[in-house]
Amino acid sequence: MYDNWYAVQVRCGREDEIVRACDMIIDNHALIECFIPRCKRMRKIRGQWHNIEEILFRGYVFMISDHIDDLFNELKKIPDLTKLLGNDGKNIYPIYKDEAIFLARFGGSEHVVDISCGYIEGDSICITNGPLMGQEGSIMKIDRHKRVAYVDVSLFGQITTVQVGLEVISKS
């Protein structure tokens, strides 16, 4: 895993466009990878359940680079970038190491959080497989009807709640 992950704020709805532009325009020396963390979940459309992918952090694109000064200069070529998070005008900071490790494990090499499965026993959830396994403590709420779990994730030391797919097999 690379050391430096950066979160870049972009206009909502333009995330895919920004990633394509970065892949085409930015020098490979400056940018190792540009991606959008996503999650799989089930959504009911016209009475049928469908497996869909959604953006995990709307309005953000993540970049991995070991040459931030070069990347910062290259990013000036990309329209519609709002700002690098952690950029106080003078310095640019990567997201915290433990947050990058968590996001890498949570989304895997494809940066897509898969649907987890589990069951509810009394007042507690037990995750039997998927990326939420071992993360039960970070689940704040479960919506069984929408098949989602609301999970608290840390980014720059601030807690953000994201929705990820969760199939609850049984409840007792």
CATH number at residue 89: 3.30.70.940
pLDDT-based confidence at residue 79 (cuts at 50, 70, 90):
confident
**In this structure, what DSSP letter does residue 21 have?**
H
Tally of domains within the chain: 1
Percentage above 70 pLDDT, the chain: 92
Q: Which pTM does this prediction carry?
A: 0.86
Instruction: Provide the pairing of β-strand 158-171 with 116-121.
Output: parallel
First-residue to last-residue Cα distance in the chain:
41
Domain that holds residue 29: 5-171
pLDDT at 23: 92
pLDDT at 92: 67
Quick one: which of 64, 82, 83 has its CA closest to 26? 64
